[in-house]
Structure 1
Amino acid sequence: MANFKGHALPGSFFLLFGLWWPAKFALKHYSMKRNKKGRAHRSFDHLEIIEGAVKVIFAVIGILGEQFVPDGPHLYLYTRDPWSWVKMMNWQHCTMYLFFVLSGVVDVLTYCPARLPLGLDRLMLAIALFVEGVLLYFHVQNRPMLDQHIHALLLIAIFATSASILLEIFLRDNVILELLRTTLCFVQGTWFWQIGFVLYPPFGGPTWDEADHENMMFITMCFCWHIAVAIAMVTVIYTLVQCFVQRCRTSNRRIQIRLSLQKQKNTKDSCAFLLNASDEE
């Protein structure tokens, strides 16, 4: 949808995963360190299934929103009167969401009892992002300069995310690549919202001069700020989760030590009582 809501929905999708992934990866790598075999706990398979299901739900909502808004194509691809394509922009968005539906389905099948080969989940997600980038690249041709420029910056984040996920196929469970993917995903989420505010001001503010070169310079600088905010947010979330887990582990150790000492004390008291009783007899 060529409006603010049409950019807010995918932005929220990527922001949700950009906020969730650093917490998940922090817990996952902590679990792998605790496991002697270097594997994550089985509960993370269930999390992956839930994550895939959420991905499918968001993408299906996006498809329905693109198709059945009042001015949407309503599943019509071509019309005879006059002979023309129907709402190609909406159909392109639906195609983008379709590949994220496929990615979610592959996630579920990879971690459910069907057990598709590991790596297919990463491959399908990388393909979904690549398709998103290709569609957006040809989406803004012959449009004003600022519109093209702000979408071109989004393409940087999209293709970089796709490339990092492709590397994860061969370097699975690499925390650096996972955090890189998370950071780029977070940038995509915030930048979709930024595009909505610039091109379709939701509160009726003044429109941007799309031919002004200084506006393009500011937007480029703003994109760099988004990257800085994404790095900071991912770092803070990952660190907070790590500290929380370490604190819980320390607390559990103290509780176990106290219980052990209490048990030893009770054992000694019982032995002393038995000895005293035997002496009296």
Structure 2
Amino acid sequence: MGNWLGHVGSGFFFLIWASWWVLQLSFNTLRNKYERDGRAGVPSRPLRLCRRIPLEGIIICLCTAFGFIAENMYPYTRWKMFDEEGNFIEANVWQHCTIWVAFWIFGLVKILAACCCVNLKPWIPVFRTFSFFIQSIVFLNHLKDRDVLNTKLHVLLLIAILLCVLFSGMEIWMKKDKFLPFMRMWATFVNGTWLIQVGCALYPIRTGRFQWKPDDQSVKFFTMIFAWHCIGNVISVVMLYLIVAIAMKFTFGHKRGYSQLEIGEDSDNEQRSDTMYLERLQGGNRSQNNWSDNSL
């Protein structure tokens, strides 16, 4: 993360993750509603297959492993933690790698809980909160020995991360709350978009902009931009939910059942047939009785 590409790549990781959460939770919430109304059909084969495969855990493990390797390979190879004299080197690199390891562990827990260790499912929010907590500890150290603008950018990032810790931690005890998951997803969106913003502010050569001056005006400007990120990501969560809602309305919007008119006509026809059969049967019995009486 110590460069423009590292900040942007990490930001997109959280954006993809939060988008997946919103789409998944929106689909499950609306599908349960349609099932209660009797309008949900049988899931398609690709959807049933996706439910069986722990895609989220696999994607998290792959992305975090790629991030860990990229931290030590870009822009040059630096796998050493200590030099020849025993001094700790490449502190930022290994701190960032610690974050990737924490989220990799969370992805592994997701995979194991879906495949072979069902007892791990209650621990998923715990490990998710633990991952965000590790990220907050590492970025807390980024506030030292930096100019006023750099410090402010990381303070705002730390606020977004602590919100992720807060909302994810509250879900451990408040599992039935319907709003906490969306608040966690919103905070994760802010975490991702602000990471991208920090990269573009600290490494403006990549974006073709001038170097921001570390003064009060820049601090006030980026504080306002952070507020815009918070507002914009609320809109992002709502828009994703509406997209899923509209798509599912076209898919499950009509009740499945038989027409009442057709059922009524069939019932009347059956009733008429039964009545005619009984009349014939009774007529046959009467003629038989008359023939018996006459023969006597």
What TM-score bracket applies, with the shorter chain setting the length?
0.7 to 0.9
Which residues in structure 2 correspond to 1:2-151 (within 5 Å)? 2-33=2-33, 46=51, 49-74=54-79, 76-80=80-84, 83-151=86-154
Q: Is 1:166–2:169 an aligned residue pair? A: yes
Pair 1:161–1:265, CA change in 2 (3 A): same
Residue identity in the other structure for 1:137:
L
Quote how far apart the aligned CAs of 1:191 are. Answer: 0.3
Q: For structure 2, list consecutive stretches of 5 or more residues without a partner in the other structure.
A: 37-42, 281-296
Q: CA deviation digits over 1:103-129, x for unaligned, max 9? A: 001111222232124331110010110
Secondary structure at 2:118 match in 1: coil
CA–CA separation in structure 1 for the residues paired with 2:146 and 2:135: 18
Cα pair 1:73 1:86 within 8 Å, conserved? no
Which residues in structure 2 correspond to 1:132-211 (within 5 Å)? 132-201=135-204, 202-210=206-214
Aligned residues: CA RMSD:
3.0
CA–CA separation in structure 1 for the residues paired with 2:252 and 2:119: 34
CA–CA separation in structure 2 for the residues paired with 1:140 and 1:72: 26
Quote how far apart the aligned CAs of 1:275 are. Answer: 11
- Equivalent position of 1:216 in the other structure: 219
Q: CA deviation digits over 1:45-98, x for unaligned, max 9? A: 937821111111110110000012243422x11011x55322111110000000
CA–CA separation in structure 2 for the residues paired with 1:103 and 1:190: 21
Cα pair 1:133 1:155 within 8 Å, conserved? yes
Greater Rg over alpha carbons, structure: 2
Q: CA deviation digits over 1:158-205, x for unaligned, max 9? A: 011111111111222532000000100001111011001100111332
Secondary structure at 2:83 match in 1: strand
Pair 1:46–1:193, CA change in 2 (3 A): same
Pair 1:85–1:161, CA change in 2 (3 A): same
- Paired residues, number: 269
Secondary structure at 2:78 match in 1: coil
Q: For structure 1, list consecutive stretches of 5 or more residues without a partner in the other structure.
A: none
Quote how far apart the aligned CAs of 1:137 are. Answer: 0.7
Identical aligned pairs, as a percentage? 24
CA–CA separation in structure 1 for the residues paired with 2:193 and 2:239: 17
Quote how far apart the aligned CAs of 1:11 are. Answer: 0.2
Q: Is 1:240–2:228 an aligned residue pair? A: no
CA–CA separation in structure 2 for the residues paired with 1:24 and 1:112: 19
CA–CA separation in structure 2 for the residues paired with 1:45 and 1:248: 18
Pair 1:104–1:71, CA change in 2 (3 A): same
CA–CA separation in structure 2 for the residues paired with 1:150 and 1:257: 61
Pair 1:272–1:19, CA change in 2 (3 A): same
Quote how far apart the aligned CAs of 1:237 are. Answer: 1.2
Cα pair 1:25 1:175 within 8 Å, conserved? no
Q: TM-score, normalised by structure 2?
A: 0.80
Cα pair 2:142 2:151 within 8 Å, conserved? no
